[in-house]
Amino acid sequence: MAKEKEEKKIVPPTNDSDKKKALDAALKQIDKAFGKGTLIRLGDKQVEAIDSISTGSLGLDLALGIGGIPKGRIIEVYGPESSGKTTLTLHIIAEAQKAGATCAFIDAEHALDVKYAANLGVDTENLYVSQPDFGEQALEIVENLARSGAVELIVVDSVAALTPKSEIEGDMGDQHVGLQARLMSQALRKLAGVVHKMNTTVVFINQIRMKIGAMGYGTPETTTGGNALKFYASVRLDVRKIATLKQNEEPIGNRTKVKVVKNKVAPPFKTAEFDIMFGEGISRDGEIIDYGVKLDIIDKSGAWFSYKAAKIGQGRENAKAYLKEHPEISDEIVATIKSSIGLDKLISGAGGKDSDDESESIEENTEE
């Protein structure tokens, strides 16, 4: 009779010394298989504060809690048509370029206005632009750029325009149920780890649609491309136009409200409001006046605005014009505002977990 082989029983280590030896052996095996640093103990390496890219808006930088959008993450910016989504992302590109970053714009909608981008401060000469033919091509370009580690910011405009190749090559009446959602889900599974490892920020602009047959509670709106982007995005920004700005009955811009509906790096649901002027983008001077008044840095008496006892304009538009003509005063007020709300400390590397306490008193916090 053949002798049966006894199965080798795996016995867990019982004392601390054996546990440490077993763990060291496992760590060596993991490092050998996947590379050094694949698994680390947080106590052995100081956790760095989350770096950010400014949005070009003082209020939105504060609402985000870390001085801008986080680096090495996936971001979603969505809203109705003509609400300011592309304008906001172009300002983010401009701010990233000022800090020396290389940026790319994936123009799936084939609608980028280069002249307008230049007016917002984008260095169009050094901006990499692609106008892909179909969705798979666009997302492959994004992945290749992210894997290179040489591009710090990639903007995709927009998710709704990422049409799968099979849909483009098919006939008009063909049904393509769930193709785009599957495409986005597959792409984001690959992208999530790459962008974190390479510290590349990917911003997806998205459109909203009405849910068919939506009844009862909850919003009837939804974004395109399925649910994957909602889960993988560290920050989701809802951009809405809330008013039209007029001067002498002529429209000169829009009042825009941005709500941080999701935030994995700071408390969510904060909002920011700012002016987007036609042809100029986000009005920096308008925000300076708004925050200056809220923080008692700028005095408002009736229609007059004053700074350090000197009148700077009668009416908001005149005060904005004064600050535009006197950039040194504008910069001085900005520095005082940042110091008052703690934004200067956030930008210098203190942020990551919580927003500044004082910010809550000057930010509208409405969870709709």
Q: Is the pLDDT of residue 46 over 60?
A: no
The predicted pLDDT at position 353 comes to 37
Instruction: Say which residue, 5 or 197, is predicted with more confidence.
Output: 197
Under a CB-based contact definition with an 8 Å cutoff, are residues 83 and 77 in contact? no
Q: Are residues 143 and 161 in the same domain?
A: yes
Are 196 and 322 part of one and the same domain?
no
Determine, yes or no, domain membership for 356: no
Average predicted confidence (pLDDT) for the chain: 87
Sign of the alpha-carbon dihedral angle for 138, 139, 144, 150: positive
Q: Is residue 128 part of a domain?
A: yes
Judgement on whether residues 177 and 289 belong to the same structural domain of the protein: no
Summarize the confidence of residues 100-106 as an average pLDDT: 98
Segment 284-309 shows an average pLDDT of: 93
335 and 270 within one domain: no
Rg (the chain; Cα; Å): 25
Backbone angles phi, psi at 294, to 5 degrees: -60, -35
Q: Residue 8: which pLDDT band, with cuts at 50, 70 and 90? A: low
- 355 known member of a binding site: no
- pTM value? 0.83
User: Do 186 and 322 have their domain in common?
Assistant: no
Least confident segment among 88-102, 135-149, 336-350: 336-350
- Quick one: pLDDT band at residue 69, thresholds 50, 70, 90? very high
Does 347 or 120 have the greater pLDDT score?
A: 120
17 is in an annotated binding site: no
Question: Is residue 12 domain-resident?
Answer: no
Q: Residue 80 annotated as binding? A: yes
Q: Which residues contact 305 (CB under 8 A, 6 or more apart)?
A: 289, 293, 298, 299, 311, 312, 313, 314, 316, 319
- Which CATH number does the domain housing residue 323 bear? 3.30.250.10
According to the annotation, is 81 in a ligand binding site?
yes
CATH number at residue 270: 3.40.50.300
Residues 84 and 176 in one domain: yes
Report how far apart, in Å, the C-alpha atoms of 76 and of each of 4, 64, 322 are: 61, 13, 35
Residue 32 is labelled as binding a ligand: no
**pLDDT computed for residue 72 by the predictor:** 96
Are both 121 and 200 inside the same structural domain? Answer: yes
pLDDT category, 48, cuts 50, 70, 90?
A: low
Q: Would residue 279 be called left, alpha or beta, if left means φ above 0 and alpha means ψ between -120 and 50 degrees?
A: left
What range defines the domain where residue 73 resides? Answer: 52-211+219-282
The answer to whether residues 337 and 265 belong to one domain is: no
**Is 9 a domain residue?**
no
Is residue 15 a part of any domain in this protein? no
Lowest-confidence segment of 189-203, 223-237, 321-335, 354-368 by average pLDDT: 354-368
Final residue of a structural domain among 228, 256, 282:
282
DSSP state of 84: S
Domain boundary (255, 282, 309) is at 282
Indicate whether 243 and 120 sit together in one domain: yes
- Residue 188, domain member (yes or no): yes
- Is 79 annotated as belonging to a binding site? yes
Instruction: Please report whether residue 40 resides in a domain.
Output: no
What's the pLDDT at 357? 36
Assess whether 288 and 249 both reside in one domain: no
How many domains would you assign to the chain? 2
Q: Is 361 a residue whose pLDDT tops 90?
A: no
Regarding whether 172 and 57 lie in a shared domain, the answer is yes
Last residue of a domain, one of 236, 264, 282: 282
Contact at 8 Å (CB) between 97 and 125?
A: no
* % the chain with pLDDT above 70: 87
Let me know whether 224 and 132 are in one domain.
Answer: yes
DSSP 8-state class, residue 5: P
Q: In the prediction, which pLDDT does 350 show?
A: 39
Is 350 domain-assigned?
Answer: no
Residue pLDDT, tens place only, 117-145 = 999 999 999 999 999 999 999 999 999 99
272 burial via Cβ count (<10 Å: 0-12, 13-18, 19+): buried
